[in-house]
Homo-oligomer: A and B are copies of this chain.
């Protein structure tokens, strides 16, 4: 469920663009500075809108933060669905993309969705539920791919692909968290490579470690 369908009055095309510009700016600032470090005034200035425009779309900061959560989850899901985890090449390409992204930013900001958990989970129950829903969708999308990989014999047969999807998402989140504080993507790389190697060893169609 995205915010767009959840609680928005009908917007004109121009209104939808303005709202999207506000959410984009807020998402960027929050990723760079954290939720507590981002004021509505920062967002207003970055999105180049007036205070009354901002308040027209968002009653308060909580509402804007919730729109940012949906936006980040939608962006991640869009990218995840473009990846094809149903083939060994696709899984490798996804792994390379995730690591390259962490390398290019020194893992600054961590995961755009995961890094919001520690900031919001205890302070804002609605935000917590939205982040959880985002992770559920993400895990399901990974599971869709891994089920195909399992069916084609590229995963050890005793593995449950949905369990592996949760484990891969956990390793990704934890690896990104370690990479973020260490300013070094190696932990992320180690976690993903170790898990993928373990999951594919003993498969019907093994491949060498690349």
Interface residues of chain A, those whose CB is within 8 Å of chain B, are 32-37, 108-110, 114-119, 121-123, 128, 131-132, 135-136, 139, 156, 158-160, 163-164, 166-167, 169-175, 177-178, 180-183, 187-188, 190-191, 193-195, 197-199, 201-202
Contact = CB atoms under 8 A, between A and B. Distances in A.
Contacts of A187: 139, 166, 169-170
Contacts of A110: 117-118, 121
| 8 A-B pairs closest in CB distance | A118-B118, A174-B174, A170-B174, A173-B174, A170-B191, A36-B36, A198-B198, A167-B194
Contacts of A180: 117-118, 121
B177 A175 contact: no
A135 B32 contact: no
Contact of A122 (B37, B139, B178): B37
A180 to B, nearest CB: 5
A158 B164 CA distance: 20
7 contacts: A37-B122, A119-B119, A166-B187, A166-B190, A167-B195, A170-B171, A177-B177
Contacts of A159: 194, 198
A20 B91 CA distance: 48
A173 B178 contact: yes
B166 A33 contact: no
A135 B194 CA distance: 18
A201 B156 contact: yes
A164 B194 contact: yes
Nearest to A129: B181
